[in-house]
Structure 1
Amino acid sequence: MMQRPLVKICGLTRMRDVRLCVDLGADLLGFIFHARSQRNADPDFVAGIRTGKAVKVGVFVSRTATEVVEIMDRCGLHAAQLHGGQDEAFCEQVGPDRVIKVFWPDAYASQSALLRDLERFEEVSSHFLFDAGTRGSGGTGRSFDFTKLQHLEIHTPWFLAGGIAPNTISAALELNPPGLDINSGVEQAPGIKDENKLRAVFDRLAQVP
């Protein structure tokens, strides 16, 4: 039986959007710490946020492990979502129980190549995240062929990302993902969430047993 997946709303930059996501029942809230991103978050802003039961996640691209840990401590983050070439030692330094490791299925020549990488990071990640494209910090609005994951045996809990919006969430749910990562599909503009789109997504999720 399909269960409601964990829901992470990413790319938050405004307190009003944080409050709305908490009220709607988001399980995780994502804040991007990458200067080149249009959704780059101010550490002081994130440090002052109290999210109740929702988990605070930092998204990191070009940072050292020491910098990641420092920002996590400063901002009270529960998890680090790692985009890029971080290796197993990097994940160990951040803390395997705090790492959400990102993979881009479209970047692999075969499913077996993707599986080899997943096996490498199983012991140093609490979750995986599968995103569209071949690299970046997410929020591109692009989606990938969800069926690429259909027959993979994935032992680590994982999130599905990539263009998830009110009109695509049903297709994403068909894969029965443990988690959904939603960003640009519920925005008016980069970093500015759209209340109607957010409510539509959570209304659809409410239909999942």
Structure 2
Amino acid sequence: MIIKVCGMTRSEDVEFCDALGIDLLGFIFHPESPRNIAPEWVATQKPGRALKTGVFVRQGVEEISAIAKASDLDLLQLHGGHTLEQCRDLGPERVIKTLWPQRYATTELLLADMLLFAPVCRAILLDSGTSGGGHGTSLSATDLQRLKCPHPWYLAGGLGPHNLTAMKFTGASGFDLNSGVENLPGIKDHEKIRTALHILRGKP
């Protein structure tokens, strides 16, 4: 199971999550986000275990590639409706492609797009809402349990200690935590992260 903590803005949170065993650390490169961060600062963060994951919304391939190089990123999470070609150009082994289940009339239509993008990404992220992210709403566990996608998929949107017990049984292979483990935007609550990890992995 992959666990990601997104919206990192402080070195102490990076260090805490890395030491705790979090797999992916998310750095948001989107000016409209309260968690937007500069590539120069991200480049100074050197986790020992966790992979640095850049979150992009409307940037194109050239801009994403430039930021990835400047920030020393490992992975690229795409939230801007990026195409198959863009995912392929950025490198399927690096891309986490976001889809929004609430945009789809049926689970079958969502699954069709998941299978379409599977060859050009390492994982698919299912996010609450219809665009962007970090809005703190969550998806229905019942609907998610109906998905039978063989490709790894992660779940995001309002996840935290209050709902992870139900969501851990949806079939997701990863969980993306952000607003549900914060005190303020970009200010992580270490006890909430520790509790979330315990719920998902059974570790103290």
TM range (shorter): over 0.9
Q: Which of residues 116, 119, 125 in structure 1 aligns to 2:121?
A: 125
> What amino acid maps onto 2:119 in structure 1?
E
> What amino acid maps onto 1:179 in structure 2?
G
For residues 54 and 88 of structure 1, the distance between their equivalents in structure 2, rounded to whole angstroms, comes to 27
Q: Which of residues 189, 194, 197 in structure 2 aligns to 1:194?
A: 189
Contact 2:101/2:128, CA 8 A, preserved across alignment: yes
Contact 1:105/1:148, CA 8 A, preserved across alignment: no
User: Secondary structure, in 3 states, of the residue corresponding to 2:105?
Assistant: coil
Query: How big is the shift at 1:83?
Result: 0.6
For residues 181 and 152 of structure 2, the distance between their equivalents in structure 1, rounded to whole angstroms, comes to 24
Report the TM-score when normalising by structure 2. Answer: 0.95
Contact 2:92/2:119, CA 8 A, preserved across alignment: yes
For residues 137 and 119 of structure 2, the distance between their equivalents in structure 1, rounded to whole angstroms, comes to 29
User: Secondary structure, in 3 states, of the residue corresponding to 2:16?
Assistant: helix
After the TM superposition, list the runs of 4 or more consecutive aligned residues in structure 1 that deviate by more than 3 angstroms.
none
Question: Which residue pairs with 2:146 in the alignment?
Answer: 151
In the alignment, is residue 29 of structure 1 matched against residue 19 of structure 2?
no
Question: Which residue pairs with 2:77 in the alignment?
Answer: 81
Contact 2:81/2:98, CA 8 A, preserved across alignment: no
Query: How big is the shift at 1:124?
Result: 0.6
User: Secondary structure, in 3 states, of the residue corresponding to 2:135?
Assistant: coil
User: Secondary structure, in 3 states, of the residue corresponding to 1:148?
Assistant: helix
Once the two structures are superposed, the pairs formed by residues 48-63 of structure 1 within 5 Å of their partners are 48-63=44-59
Aligned-pair identity in percent equals 45
Bigger RCO of structures 1 and 2 (CA < 8 A, at least 6 apart): 1
Question: Which residue pairs with 1:163 in the alignment?
Answer: 158
Contact 2:144/2:171, CA 8 A, preserved across alignment: no
Contact 1:104/1:133, CA 8 A, preserved across alignment: yes
Query: How big is the shift at 1:191?
Result: 0.6
Query: How big is the shift at 1:206?
Result: 3.9
Question: Which residue pairs with 1:91 in the alignment?
Answer: 87
> What amino acid maps onto 1:116 in structure 2?
A
In the alignment, is residue 16 of structure 1 matched against residue 12 of structure 2?
yes
Gaps of 5+ in 1: none
For residues 150 and 171 of structure 2, the distance between their equivalents in structure 1, rounded to whole angstroms, comes to 14
Contact 2:107/2:146, CA 8 A, preserved across alignment: no
